[in-house]
Amino acid sequence: MDHQIREDRKPQGRKKLTAERAAYFQLVQQGYSNKEACRIVGINPRTG
């Protein structure tokens, strides 16, 4: 899986949020830590 950190920090809407959550959970299932998965997906670990 190719990872890219999102540069645009503007809200992306409900579909984008769902896609980010799916990507986050996939990374966690693959063994990434919460912090690392959040960094890769581009979400804040506190609010993610």
Domain ranges across the chain: 13-48
* pTM, two decimal places: 0.63
pLDDT recorded at residue 28:
93
pLDDT 10s digits, 1-48: 566 666 666 666 666 778 888 999 999 999 999 999 999 998 888 876
Give Cβ neighbours of residue 48 (< 8 Å, ≥ 6 apart). Answer: 24, 38, 41
Q: Positive or negative CA dihedral for 39, 27, 31, 46?
A: positive
pLDDT recorded at residue 3:
67
pLDDT recorded at residue 5:
65
Distance separating alpha carbons of residues 8 and 29, to the nearest angstrom: 26
